[in-house]
Structure 1
Amino acid sequence: MSRKSNPKHPESRANTGPSHTGGGQLRIIAGEWRSRKLPVANVPGLRPTSDRVRETVFNWLTMMTPGARVLDVFSGTGALSMEALSRGASSAVLLEKSPVAATTLKSNLALLRAERARVVECDSLTWLNQPAETGFDLIFLDPPFRMNLLEPACQLLESNGYLNENSLIYIEAEKELNPLPTPEHWQLEKSKTAGQVSFSLWSRIKKQ
């Protein structure tokens, strides 16, 4: 699983192999909507985080997901936040810059009758560059590869109050990005690689 950027909408999640042209389906693995299949927007390079990776991630998050307030910063297909909602998350905000992808997200959430979710069509960094109205418990960070979006997103989450004291942050990034540009007081809890992708879970150490 590799990723190429979408020049027109560089923040759209784009996990793609060389021949992938967008479209297709995502499958929700477990929970209320288990085995539901949903369309993926026909945006070049857009596809969901793989079933195998999502299964691992949500095994990590078993105790955290129920009741969690979720922020999906570069939502793309929405696979991560929809999986979280299916497994009992209390709410989710999905940020997506591509109008086509955002429309499909809204349509899929309507199909699921997911009234606890809200799609915001926006530039993610611009949205984060304002004071938070509330903190989030679980944050998904899966930016397009090689666009230098991860570090500013992490810093804005911290500086503008989007994280709670016990927040967990999931990061999916290109494997060669090592070490990840996370704030000093973020602590690595779990990490794995799958092909060209690294994925990891982080917590926050209370500042002195």
Structure 2
Amino acid sequence: MGTNQRLRSKQKVNTSGKQGQIRIIAGQWRGRKLPVKDLEGLRPTTDRVKETVFNWLAMDIRGTTCLDCFSGSGSLGLEALSRYATSAVLLERDKSAAKQLQTNLDTVKASNAKVICTDSMSYLAQTAQQKFDLVFVDPPFRKGLLEPCCQLLETNGWLKDNALIYLEREKELEQLTLPTNWGLIKDKAAGQVIYQIYQRQPK
């Protein structure tokens, strides 16, 4: 959910400098509202979608290592941490958004999380430095990033056996070419957005 993410292509650049908010739904920081930079393309996953996703994941979050590939507002990574994920790595290319992410982590005293200001595709193109139990993949819409991101996660060893992978994509992207050992276990639509959970099977 980083900058230029999940946004209609004709949206104008926001120059207001205003801030929005995300809300933590459940867990140790339940009800906390945290500021989000109001940047072009930054649109956090809605509470409606987020609540459904984390209901799906309710029994699988505690004790997991998480990777948020296009973090943006940090809504997904922070929700996982609030629900007692062991740790999280948040990737975000925009410097301003990354700085706000770190500020929000400091606010809730999340010492078990790390923000990396980087291009996610370049970062994932290297051999994995760590393997993850739970990965959020919510790239910019209509940029052709989702499928190659998933291939990099698999090819370069970022996923543990039986890892769960959350995908969020535009509805018109119907035919996905994903690693053959990923099995779809949850699938739902909300307006023009499709969101899904896959599980990686060991090869």
Shorter-normalised TM range:
over 0.9
Q: C-alpha offsets along residues 143-199 of structure 1, whole Å, 9 cap, x if unaligned?
A: 000101111111111111100001000000001111223112211000100111000
**Aligned position for 1:66:** 62
Taking the TM superposition and a 5 Å limit, the aligned residue runs for 1:131-146 are 131-146=127-142
> Counterpart of 1:133 in structure 2: which amino acid?
Q
The answer to whether the Cα contact below 8 Å between 1:23 and 1:47 also exists between their aligned partners in 2 is: no
What percentage of aligned pairs have identical amino acids? 53
Instruction: Tell me if 1:185 matches 2:185.
Output: no
Give 3-state SS (helix, strand or coil) of 1:191's partner.
Answer: strand
Residues 13 and 115 from structure 1, CA distance in 2 versus in 1: closer, same or farther, beyond 3 angstroms? farther
State the distance in 1 between where 2:136 and 2:4 align.
Answer: 12
Give matches, 1:26-41, under 5 Å: 26-41=22-37
TM-score by length of 2: 0.92
Q: Which residue of 2 aligns with 1:48?
A: 44
CA contact (8 A) 2:23 2:34 kept: yes
Q: TM-score, normalised by structure 1?
A: 0.90
Which residue does 1:198 correspond to in 2?
A: 194
Distance 1:127 1:16 in 2: 23
How many corresponding residue pairs? 198
> Which position in structure 1 is the counterpart of 2:159?
163
Give the whole-Å Cα distance in 1 for the aligned partners of 2:144 and 2:13: 23
1:90-117 Cα deviation digits (max 9, x unpaired): 0000000001110110111110110010
Q: 2:5 aligns with which of 3, 14, 27?
A: 14
Deviation of 1:131 after TM superposition, in Å, equals 1.1
- How far did 1:205 drift? 2.6
Q: CA deviation at 1:16?
A: 4.7
Q: How many Å separate the matches in 1 of 2:95 and 2:145? A: 19
Distance 1:67 1:27, change over 3 A: same
The answer to whether the 8 Å contact 1:168/1:203 transfers is: yes
Gaps of 5+ in 1: 4-10
SS in 2 for 1:188: strand
**SS of equivalent to 1:24:** strand
Partner residue in 2 for 1:149: 145
| Runs of 5+ unmatched residues, structure 2 | none
- Partners in 1 of 2:160 and 2:4 — Cα distance? 25
Contact residue 90 and residue 116 of structure 2 kept, 8 A: yes
Give, as a single letter, the amino acid of the residue that structure 1 aligns with 2:105.
L
